[in-house]
Amino acid sequence: MRFGVVVFPGSNCDRDCVHVLRGVLGRDVDELWSGDPSVAGADALILPGGFAYGDYLRAGAVAATAPIMAAVREFAGAGGPVLGICNGFQVLLEAGLLPGAMLRNRSLQFRCQPVHLRVESMRTPFTAGLRPGQVLRMPVAHGEGKYYAPEDLAARLEARDQIVFRYCDASGRPADDANPNGSLRHIAGVCNAAGNVVGLMPHPERASEAILGSTDGRLLFESVIAVLAARRRAERVPV
């Protein structure tokens, strides 16, 4: 089972993702460069946080045109699991692989703080191993994380179970004062219609070891590992 971590010029959480997948979870990881034409060999892709291409134009906009994105699009189209974290989420939005857009935080401040997230959907490979309503704690670190979708699109996302995470308080109640950026409907993460592409603003890779204060983030990676392993068993291919 191999993970591919996509590295753009300006990505800065790629090594953290590699560390968690390889060092903490013992998986094989390829670092895939923005200019690579292929993601061949990867069973799941992670688009990490950072400031890809300096966030010029809009966060994620230039990265969405990078050569590797054609391969990411093809991989996602074939049902491969793709997780965009923070800036990686912004890239997936700009690439049209996820619905919606990001605006500047309501506060205009860069927000770097621990938040609580409520699991809203388990239909994605990254949340299949979680419980509905489960509350996770992990940090956010962003200036443009205010999720936006026009009202009709937002209603459609609710109806189609595409809202994956919501900001909430420690008891699991979504609330304005638990929402770090002013996101519409307290949305912290969404998925595509098929459910295999997921984006979230909080950083699971920064909450995957006890020494960092939370291991809740690891659950997302363990979930996709379990899904891929089950898929392999079903195909009778050794993992």
Partner 1 sequence: MTTVRIVITLKPGILDAAGQAVRQGLTSLGYRDVGDVRVGRYLEIAVPQDVPPEQIEAMCERFLANPLIEEWRVGDAP
Q: Decide if residue 157 touches partner 1 (CB under 8 A).
A: no
Cα distance between residue 58 and residue 55, in whole Å: 6
Quote the least distance from Cβ 193 to partner 1, whole Å. Answer: 17
**Catalytic residue list contains 86:** yes
Q: Which of 94, 120, 144, 205 is catalytic?
A: 205
Write the binding mask 1 to 20 for partner 1: x where contact by CB under 8 A, - elsewhere: --------------------
Closest approach of partner 1 to the CB of residue 108, in Å: 5
Strand partners, 46: 5, 83
Residue 13 a catalytic site member: no
Instruction: Closer to partner 1 by CB, 73 or 231: give it.
Output: 73
Query: Please, are residues 59 and 84 in contact by the beta-carbon 8 Å criterion?
Result: no
Residue 65 near partner 1 by CB under 8 A = yes
Residue pair 140/87 in contact (Cβ under 8 Å)? The answer is no
> Are residues 107 and 181 in contact, defined by beta-carbon separation less than 8 angstroms?
yes
**Closest by CA position to 92, among listed 204, 199, 220:** 199
Coil, strand or helix at 173: coil
E strand intervals along 49-186: 82-85, 101-103, 111-119, 135-142, 146-148, 163-168
184 binds partner 1 (CB under 8 A): no
Of positions 105, 162, 192, 208, contacts partner 1 by CB under 8 A: 105
Binding residue (CB under 8 A) for partner 1 from 50, 81, 88, 100: 100
Of 13, 17, 86, 191, which one is the catalytic site residue? 86
Known catalytic membership, residue 74: no
Cβ distance 117 to 202 under 8 Å? yes
- Is 31 in contact with 14 (CB distance < 8 Å)? yes
* Contact residue for partner 1 among 16, 94, 120, 205 (CB under 8 A): 94
Give me the residues that bind partner 1 (CB under 8 A), please: 57-58, 61, 65, 94, 100-101, 103-108, 148-150
* Residues tagged active-site: 86, 203, 205
